[in-house]
Each structure stands twice: as structure tokens, then as C-alpha cells.
Amino acid sequence: MKRSRFSEAQIIGILKEHQAGMSAPDLCRKHGISDATFYNWRRKYGGMEVADAKRLKALEAENTKLKKMLAEQMMDVATLKEMLG
């Protein structure tokens, strides 16, 4: 997955500029991003503070780790069932 040029703090700062009254096309031009990127950020980070975004990132990382552990456990169980059956 491609890494963003902008940190969560920078993204939230850009979104706060929009809330302060700056238009979306002007913001996109100023920061060199596409309209689609801006609206995706607004959907994901809209209304968040920097601490909330950091917590979201930590929770997503933990969720990924747990999903991987679950998949490994399910594979172990399937292997044991196959050996016993």
C-alpha cells in the first residue's frame, strides 16, 4: 500500500482549513492533492482531532495483527483435524 506524503496531523490541519471556510478546490491546489484524495480524507478523518487519528491508526494495526493470529489458529485447527480424521 502506498504511503501518504502527509501525516495524520497535516491531514487534519488541511481539513480544519476547509472547516474555517476555504473552498475544497483551493485547498487541493494549495497542497497539491486531488479532489478525490481530499474527499477521502474528509470521509475518514472528518471531525477528528490528532489524538483520535493516532488512536485510530493504533486500533487498525492491532486489528490487522489479531486477524493474522486468527487465520494462523484456524489453519492450525484445520491441520489437526486433518491429521486426526
Name residue, grid cell 471531525: 47
Q: How does DSSP assign 43-69, residue by residue?
A: HHHTT--HHHHHHHHHHHHHHHHHHHH
Q: Count the Cβ atoms, other than its own, within 10 Å of residue 8.
A: 20
User: pLDDT, tens digit, for every residue of 32-81?
Assistant: 999 999 999 999 998 889 999 899 999 999 999 999 999 999 999 999 99
C-alpha cell at 62: 492491532
Per-residue DSSP letter, 5: S
| Per-residue pLDDT, 64 | 98
pLDDT surpasses 70 at 1: no
Contact indicator for 50, 12 with CB cutoff of 8 Å: yes
